[in-house]
Structure 1
Amino acid sequence: MRFSRALLHTVAFSTLLAATSLAAGTVSAADKVTLMVGGYEKQIYLPAKLAESLGYFKDEGLDVELLNEPAGVDAENQLLAGAVQGVVGFYDHCIDLQGKGKFVESVVQFSQAPGEVELVSTKHPEIKSVADFKGKSLGVTGLGSSTNFLTQYLAVKNGLSLSDITSVPVGAGATFIAAMQQDKIQAGMTTEPTITRLVKTGEASILVDMRTMENTRAALGGTYPAASLYMESSWVEAHKDTVQKLANAFVKTLKYINTHSAAEIADKMPKDFYVSDKDGYIKALDRGKSMFTADGVMPDDGPKTVLAVLQGFSKSLKDKQIDLSKTYTTDFVKNVK
């Protein structure tokens, strides 16, 4: 069968149009990113919602969807399942997962201290130190979460075995508070604004404070990079342009945090994040704002501290050779103009 020249032109044009549309669709899909946040109302993960509020994602041509997941370990699972492209969570998962043969990396390092506090219920005045945790139920966001990692490390560091304590997954915010009020947990690790809420009502007191660099070094033995944007290494390699745009937006956000007051930052956050106490929210943010990096760069001494903490209690990691250089990258944040 012989085609007319006009028909051939039509077919060629249609093919070109389809290819162009496909390419356009590919670009659009690459710029659509879903990030899972391990509790975006927590002040430690504030950069995620702040970047959205300031319009920095849109400025980069990104369509970013933020999904909320109270426990970091569940956010990690969503990433590994391919349901999301990135997680706003603790860097320690990057090391823990490499020990399990999976490679993820921090591409923007938000903080250089955990921003976590070990609270003790005032119903239990017998708990005067971490060594007194023996036989107690301790609240964590989730089993396998960063709060669980830190709780286990502190217990072992203070002479306890992991069998001496019981980690109870209670999330954060209202669920954490309820668990402490009902004595389901006698102590627990949490962040702002939950800390302020419980201390203000006199229901809990602070035993271990890791909201500042100085206190973190005392508790953990060094700088402890925590909140970050981490992604699967293979995805990062295949989508460098998109990752660079995310880095641009987040570094700009970190600079905003470091050049604006806690009150100015709070004004950009959803009102329900204040939990009916904006003044308390602002005061807590003012105290903890120094935990955030100014440029998204991983602290030089941070990864070794995190590895030492994890190997301090994890039998599965003690004998593993971890390549720390594959758990983070500074390439994208250092390319931000």
Structure 2
Amino acid sequence: MRKIKSILIVTLSFILLTFGMTGCNEQGLKKVTIAEVTHSIFYAPQYVAIEAGYFKDEGIDVQLILTQGADKTMAALLSNEAQVGFMGPEASIYVYNQGSKDYAINFAQVTKRDGTFLVGRTEIDSFNFDMLKGKQIIGGRKGGMPEMTLEYVLKNQGLTLGENLAEGNTQVRTDIQFAAMGGAFVGGEGDFVTLFEPTATQLEEQGQGYILASMGQLSGEIPYTAYSALSSYMAKNPDMIQKFTNAIYKGQQYVETHTAEEIADLIAPQFKEMKKEQLVKVVQRYKDNDTWCTDPILKEESLNRLMDVMELAGELNQRPAYQELVNTTFAEEAVK
């Protein structure tokens, strides 16, 4: 929480001096930069929309920039480095609660569950959460969705969080950068780690870790990742937001109605380092977990559940109104 505050304060001090601009490419497509929190198969509907040409059909030329963390994604949005942010809605809540006048508004939800998996050092046929007592888990940045959801699951499983492992506590480490979590675990840090795909499967196939549990299955439905834009950009570019949402909805529908193999074939250019069988395996795992929304409408009860998780993690002292943080107009029109 402190980290995201410091980054946003620095970013806001320069926002009047930095002007991110969208133009048109040689084909007449309007350029839109998306800052994505991570590059993962977890976001398959987005890559389907890119590779199937749904964005181009709407007159949009999408450019992706990888930020590795919701705090950095929000910073890119606030500084106008990107026009659209793709991250957990918790980041927009933090900014709103800090009193920012031009804050991020969520307009399209993509994932409805946590996309991380608990990975251990040994294969355990009958894993149960009591095995985490007295153990250390690399959980990600404090106040980020992966870390908060992990705490939510652990507490619901009856575990006590703390640093004194000798007393049977479970320690969640928040001092390792998001992008470095897998490497730190392989290097000997922690007893367990939570990882997105494809990293989790890659470690398993290399014999360096074993998937033990799905955080998404255990946490239940939650608006884990959504698209947002600054209120000022949204007011000036409603047509762009609508076309963008239309493309995402088409990507969601494709993922809903096609097989894991068909999806894997389509998004393969986004994951050139993976073999086809790996890609199919990961897509199927996410499909089995009921990971993806079938439409982009972020409902009020879902946002309330997210804020429940944030409160349990001690990261929320004020619950903003749903209407302040979410605009469903574009999603509802796309579904029509």
TM-score, structure 1 normalization: 0.78
Give the corresponding residue for 1:247.
Answer: 245
Give the corresponding residue for 1:256.
Answer: 254
Q: How big is the shift at 1:228? A: 1.6
Q: How big is the shift at 1:112? A: 1.3
| Structure 1, 271-280 or 100-109: larger mean CA deviation | 271-280
| Structure 1 Cα separation of the partners of residues 250 and 270 of structure 2 | 24
Q: How big is the shift at 1:147? A: 1.7
| Structure 1 Cα separation of the partners of residues 124 and 184 of structure 2 | 14
Alignment of 1:94-243 (within 5 A): 94-102=92-100, 103-122=103-122, 129=129, 132=132, 136=136, 138-140=138-140, 142-157=141-156, 158-161=159-162, 164-172=171-179, 175-211=180-216, 215=217, 219-220=218-219, 222-243=220-241
Aligned length: 299
Alignment of 1:289-300 (within 5 A): 289=287, 290-300=290-300
Give the corresponding residue for 1:36.
Answer: 35
Q: How big is the shift at 1:207? A: 4.2
Q: How big is the shift at 1:162? A: 7.7
Alignment of 1:68-83 (within 5 A): 68-83=66-81
Unaligned runs of 5+ in 1: 1-24
Give the corresponding residue for 1:48.
Answer: 46
**CA RMSD in angstroms, aligned pairs only:** 3.0
Give the corresponding residue for 1:22.
Answer: none
Q: How big is the shift at 1:131? A: 7.9
| Structure 2 Cα separation of the partners of residues 201 and 231 of structure 1 | 39
**CA displacement 1:244-264 (0-9 Å, x = unmatched):** 010111111111111111111
Q: How big is the shift at 1:279? A: 0.7
Q: Does the CA-based 8 Å contact 2:47-2:270 persist in structure 1?
A: no
| Structure 1, 283-292 or 144-153: larger mean CA deviation | 144-153
Secondary structure of 2:91 counterpart: helix
Q: Does the CA-based 8 Å contact 1:38-1:45 persist in structure 2?
A: no
Q: How big is the shift at 1:46? A: 2.2
Identical aligned residues as a percent: 23
What is the letter of the counterpart of residue 159 of structure 1?
T
Secondary structure of 2:111 counterpart: coil
| Structure 2 Cα separation of the partners of residues 238 and 230 of structure 1 | 14
